[in-house]
């Protein structure tokens, strides 16, 4: 993976000093909170309900074991012994003291990490495919391009105070695993007919209160022009994006207002002036970065390991785990194993300090000391020998990290919600937990098969509810927490935005709502049809009719307003 | 005709204590330019432009060009929603061009400055005015500002430190014509642990 050279080290070191001084000036009231807030946000420090939250950048989701051990150390020394992986492949800590935040950054710098631009109205951490470099369906490894974008976007002087936050995702495989269609910019690394590498460029995708899928504005951008073209997009957005209304400020609103064709034309016009300028990438620079992403020292192994096949046939638990949590690898005899952070009873994406140390050990012993974070909030060991999968499974299981539920009902994407986040209208984690408990039976989950259940505690959609096959959105009604359900959303190559099925439900009704939706699916499905395919074939109506057919016992409504 | 009384005109020079100093070319200097801002009820056509070193709103320049263009010491300033192309091929009359930051979080001024320098070829003094604070100066100088009228209630000598927060940068802007990879010999340091 990428390693800092003296320039990266210098820039991050100077950042820590700059931020430390900003904190000092805030504590001595030289900076008022209104001035400081925007500065700390550009450094990933949010003020939440109970304490500060610090979001640390995990560039395109890639981690070395020594960095994961640093997270464990931070969790113990500065937090309450755990951290939370996010839907943008970052990690956040929820119980941070402002005074200590500069020290955390200094510690992070020792393992080549930082929290630069993990929040604020600037270009955020670029996200990518968690199977980059190992996926069997990969066309071009996106990681070198992701790193080049990281460097270009870090402290870009012109684009630090954009109308709103700006997120880029990049994918280089047949299957889009980076949710590129719901990003401000989505890049697909592709090859043209001549075999040259370039990008298909989507802009204006996003979630929040106006969910929109990105529009293609260029079908092939030669890779050398990546930086100048991004600069052109950002300059158009910086000048013309709305600043009068926070809910209308994302680039998607601008693209929608003037139309993708007109937006593309403006970008093109802007680009003509800077195209072929000094920002044009060179073969040498690409090679410098690509050298960091060469394949590890794989052994020559048979495509199928006999002992592994035997264990898979004998041990149903192992077979279940293989079926859901192990992905195909481009190198014979290897596999990518997903460690589930969605064990029932644990908030999705949460991980304890001991588990962090443990997964770092697993990475050292099984996967060339590297880990990846998925935007579904799980972890991946990307280079495991097939022959060692059984041993890995046993160990992971003993630490609660082998729930065989990847892509299943309980592999819920969920934001921190009202338990932590001051933006939230409703709690999201307890809903995820109630659903996970209700459908804990793994055989039932395997029977239901592929399904994406996404939960957001507010319209900001950090839990990606718009693109969940079942999406749940927490809403506030007269001071009480209610949940709106949508159906038919999807991410990946056939992305779509879900449709709301009707009036919202109380927290207590939610497990039954999910149960009824699943009953309709089981009745309607044809053979191996996935949930999303059934919804697309029969439409939302049969689901809606059954869910609202008879009243569901409401139980105690949470968040009652006693004054009402 | 709009009132021409000096009483209704807001002159930063007289209303705030610190504005007699600015940062220019990395040092604090005394400054005798005055920024003209329209008060409520005043119009670009009607506002009186006092004699002396004065920086007028773009709209005032556009409305009173005939009478202003003979002046020896004239400046103009852009609001954050105005376009630098408005002065295309029309930069010669100005000793100073300023860009206003109504709030420091309004980043349009960065693109205005970059375009004034890179596209319009402006080489004279480019001054940031308005909500100009220490922690944005580094970015501002990168996109082409060389003068900073730091907000009056802030210590200008403290703000000066903001210009040297970083000694290296990855990407091009007005200050760096080449990105780091073209300026420095960067080599792959280590590949695997």
Contact A160 B181 (CB under 8 A): no
- pLDDT confidence of residue A447: 94
Out of B143, B167, B177, whose CB is closest to A157?
B143
Cα angle B70, B73, B79; round to 5: 100
Strand partners, A474: A483
Q: Which phi and psi angles does A444 have, rounded to 5°?
A: -65, -45
Enumerate the residues of chain A whose CB falls inside 8 A of the CB of residue B139. Answer: 155, 157-158, 160
Q: How far apart are CA A128 and CA A432, in angstroms?
A: 25
Out of A5, A64, A273, whose CB is closest to B186?
A5
**Residue range(s) in chain A whose domain bears CATH number 3.30.413.10:** 127-290, 413-547
Which residue, chain included where needed, has tokens 């060469």?
A294
**Sign of CA pseudo-dihedral A431, A432, A437, A438:** positive
**Sequence-distant (≥ 6) Cβ neighbours of residue A415 within 8 angstroms:** A87, A421, A424, A428, A455, A456, A457, A458, A462, A463
Q: How far apart are CA A228 and CA A509, in angstroms?
A: 51
Q: Where do the H-state alpha helices sit in A291-420?
A: 306-314, 316-325, 353-366, 389-398
Nearest CA in chain A to B81: A239
Q: How far apart are CA A185 and CA A218, in angstroms?
A: 12
- pLDDT confidence of residue A555: 66
Contact B110 A161 (CB under 8 A): yes
Q: What pTM did the predictor assign?
A: 0.92
> In which residue ranges of chain A is pLDDT below 70?
555-564
What token pair was written down for A272? 């003509």
Q: How far apart are CA A237 and CA B112, in angstroms?
A: 13
The architecture that CATH gives domain B6-167 is: 3-Layer(aba) Sandwich (3.40)
- pLDDT confidence of residue A209: 84
Contact A35 B135 (CB under 8 A): yes
A199/chain B closest Cα distance in angstroms:
20
Enumerate the residues of chain A whose CB falls inside 8 A of the CB of residue B187. Answer: 5, 288
Please report the DSSP string for B25-70 in residue order. TTEEEE---EEEEPPTT--TTT----SSSEEEEHHHHHHSHHHHTT
Out of B114, B119, B192, whose CB is closest to A158?
B114
CB A190 within 8 A of CB A200: yes
Contact A160 B142 (CB under 8 A): no
Q: Which of B81, B80, B58, B78 is nearest to B68 (CA)?
A: B58
Length of chain B counted residue by residue: 193
Q: Where do the H-state alpha helices sit in A247-303?
A: 251-258, 260-274, 283-290
Enumerate the residues of chain A whose CB falls inside 8 A of the CB of residue B186. Answer: 5, 7, 285, 288
> In which residue ranges of chain B is pLDDT below 50?
1-18, 193
Q: How far apart are CA A367 and CA A380, in angstroms?
A: 10
Enumerate the residues of chain A whose CB falls inside 8 A of the CB of residue B178. Answer: 278
Interface predicted TM-score (ipTM): 0.90
Q: How far apart are CA A391 and CA A480, in angstroms?
A: 48
Furthest C-alpha separation in chain B? 76
A70/chain B closest Cα distance in angstroms:
16
- Tens of pLDDT, residue by residue over B97-148, are 999 999 999 999 999 999 999 999 999 999 999 999 999 999 999 999 999 9
Question: What's the N-to-C CA distance of chain A in angstroms?
Answer: 56
The reply to whether CATH 3.30.413.10 applies to domain A413-547 is yes
- pLDDT confidence of residue A304: 87
Enumerate the residues of chain A whose CB falls inside 8 A of the CB of residue B140. Answer: 157
B139 shares contact with chain A (CB less than 8 Å)? yes
Q: What share of chain A is helix, strand, coil (3-state, %, to 5)?
A: 40, 20, 40
- pLDDT confidence of residue A279: 97
Nearest CA in chain A to B154: A30
Q: How far apart are CA A138 and CA B27, in angstroms?
A: 54
Out of A155, A157, A227, whose CB is closest to B110?
A157
Ordered strands of the B54-57 beta sheet: B10-11, B34-37, B54-57, B74-78, B96-101, B125-130, B147-148, B21-24, B27-30
CB A408 within 8 A of CB A448: yes
Contact A151 B170 (CB under 8 A): yes
User: Could you tell me how far CA A316 lies from the centroid of its own chain?
Assistant: 31
Q: How far apart are CA A116 and CA B122, in angstroms?
A: 32
CATH class of A306-398: alpha beta
Q: How far apart are CA A44 and CA A84, in angstroms?
A: 14
**Residue A471: which H helix or E strand, with range?**
strand A470-477
B79 shares contact with chain A (CB less than 8 Å)? no
Nearest CA in chain B to A286: B181
Out of B106, B119, B171, whose CB is closest to A156?
B171
B172 shares contact with chain A (CB less than 8 Å)? yes
Out of A154, A279, A288, whose CB is closest to B187?
A288
Which residue, chain included where needed, has tokens 């569901």?
A552
The architecture that CATH gives domain A6-109 is: Alpha-Beta Complex (3.90)
What token pair was written down for A189? 């690394």
How do beta strands B147-148 and B21-24 pair? Answer: antiparallel
- pLDDT confidence of residue B192: 54
Q: How far apart are CA A341 and CA A348, in angstroms?
A: 6
B64/chain A closest Cα distance in angstroms:
27
Q: Which of A119, A157, A232 is nearest to A462 (CA)?
A: A119
A93/chain B closest Cα distance in angstroms:
26
- pLDDT confidence of residue A11: 98
**Residue range(s) in chain A whose domain bears CATH number 3.90.480.20:** 6-109, 306-398
B67/chain A closest Cα distance in angstroms:
31
Instruction: Among A158, A232, A241, A370, pick the best mutation site for testing chain B contact (most B Cβ within 10 A).
Output: A158
- pLDDT confidence of residue A110: 98
Strand partners, B75: B55, B96
Domain A127-290: which CATH number of 3.40.225.10, 3.30.413.10, 3.10.20.440, 3.20.20.70: 3.30.413.10
Q: How far is CA A304 from CA A264, A319, A483, in A?
A: 48, 15, 47
Enumerate the residues of chain B whose CB falls inside 8 A of the CB of residue A3. Answer: 189-191
């Amino acid at each position: 993976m990428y390693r800092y050279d003296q320039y990266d080290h210098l820039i991050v070191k100077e950042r820590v000093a700059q931020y430390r001084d900003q904190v000092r000036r805030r504590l001595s009231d030289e900076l008022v909170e209104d001035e400081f807030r925007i500065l700390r946000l550009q450094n990933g420090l949010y003020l939440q309900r109970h304490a500060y939250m610090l979001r640390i950048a995990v560039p395109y989701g890639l981690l070395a074991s020594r960095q994961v051990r640093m997270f464990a150390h931070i969790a113990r020394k500065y937090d309450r012994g755990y951290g939370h992986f996010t839907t943008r492949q970052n990690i956040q800590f929820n119980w941070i003291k402002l005074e200590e935040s500069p020290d955390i950054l200094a510690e992070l710098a020792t393992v080549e990490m930082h929290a630069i631009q993990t929040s604020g109205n600037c270009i955020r951490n670029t996200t990518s495919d968690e199977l980059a470099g190992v996926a069997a369906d990969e066309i071009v490894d996106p990681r070198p391009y992701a790193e080049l974008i990281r460097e270009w976007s870090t402290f870009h002087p012109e684009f630090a105070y954009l109308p709103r936050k700006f997120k880029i995702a990049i994918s280089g495989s047949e299957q889009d695993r980076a949710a590129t269609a719901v990003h401000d910019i989505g890049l697909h690394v592709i090859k043209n007919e001549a075999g040259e590498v370039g990008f298909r460029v989507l802009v204006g995708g996003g979630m929040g209160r106006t969910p929109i899928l990105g529009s293609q504005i260029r079908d092939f951008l030669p890779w050398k022009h990546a930086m100048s073209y991004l600069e052109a997009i950002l300059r158009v957005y910086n000048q013309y994006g709305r600043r009068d209304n926070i809910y209308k400020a994302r680039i998607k609103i601008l693209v929608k207002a003037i139309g993708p064709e007109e937006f593309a034309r403006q970008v093109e016009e802007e680009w003509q002036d800077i195209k072929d300028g000094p920002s044009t990438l060179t073969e040498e620079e690409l090679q410098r970065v690509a050298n960091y992403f060469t394949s590890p020292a794989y052994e020559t192994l048979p495509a199928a390991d006999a002992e592994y096949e035997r264990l898979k046939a004998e041990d149903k638990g192992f077979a279940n785990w293989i079926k859901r949590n192990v992905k195909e690898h481009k190198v014979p005899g290897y596999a990518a194993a997903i460690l589930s952070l969605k064990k029932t009873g644990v908030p999705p994406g949460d991980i304890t300090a001991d588990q962090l140390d443990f997964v770092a050990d697993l990475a050292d012993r099984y996967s060339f000391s590297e880990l990846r974070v998925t935007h579904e909030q799980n972890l991946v060991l990307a280079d495991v020998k097939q022959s060692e999968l059984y041993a890995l499974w046993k160990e992971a299981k003993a630490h609660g990290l082998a729930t065989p539920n990847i892509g299943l009902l309980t592999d819920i994407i969920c934001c921190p919600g009202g338990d932590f986040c001051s933006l939230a209208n409703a709690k999201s984690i307890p809903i995820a937990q109630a659903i996970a408990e209700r459908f804990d039976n793994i055989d039932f989950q395997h029977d239901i098969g592929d399904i994406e259940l996404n939960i957001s505690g507010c319209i900001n959609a950090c839990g990606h509810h718009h693109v969940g096959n079942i999406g749940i959105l927490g809403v506030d009604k007269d001071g009480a927490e209610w949940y709106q359900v949508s159906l038919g959303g999807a991410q990946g190559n056939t992305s779509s935005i879900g449709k709301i099925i009707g009036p919202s439900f109380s927290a207590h009704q939610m497990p039954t709502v999910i149960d009824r939706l699943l009953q309709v699916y089981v009745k309607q499905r044809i053979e191996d049809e996935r949930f999303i395919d059934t919804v697309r074939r029969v439409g939302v109506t049969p689901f809606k009719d059954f869910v609202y057919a008879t009243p569901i016992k409401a139980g105690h409504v949470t968040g009652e307003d006693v004054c009402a | 005709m709009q009132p021409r009384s000096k009483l209704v005109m807001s002159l930063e020079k007289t209303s705030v204590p610190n504005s007699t100093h600015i940062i220019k070319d990395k040092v604090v200097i005394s400054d005798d330019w005055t920024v003209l801002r329209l008060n409520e009820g005043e119009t670009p056509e009607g506002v009186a432009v006092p004699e002396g070193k004065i920086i007028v709103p773009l709209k005032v320049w556009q409305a009173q060009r005939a009478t202003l263009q003979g002046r020896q010491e004239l400046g103009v300033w852009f609001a954050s929603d105005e376009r630098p192309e408005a002065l295309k091929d029309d930069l010669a009359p100005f000793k100073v061009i300023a860009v206003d930051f109504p709030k420091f979080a309004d980043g349009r001024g960065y693109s205005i400055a970059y375009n004034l320098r890179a596209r319009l070829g402006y080489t004279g003094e480019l001054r940031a005015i308005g909500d100009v604070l220490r922690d944005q100066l580094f970015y501002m100088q990168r996109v082409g500002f060389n003068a900073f009228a730091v907000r009056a209630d802030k210590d200008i000598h403290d703000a000066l430190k903001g210009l040297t927060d970083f000694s290296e940068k990855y990407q091009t802007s007005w200050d760096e014509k080449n990105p780091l990879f073209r300026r420095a010999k960067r080599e792959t340091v280590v590949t695997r642990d």
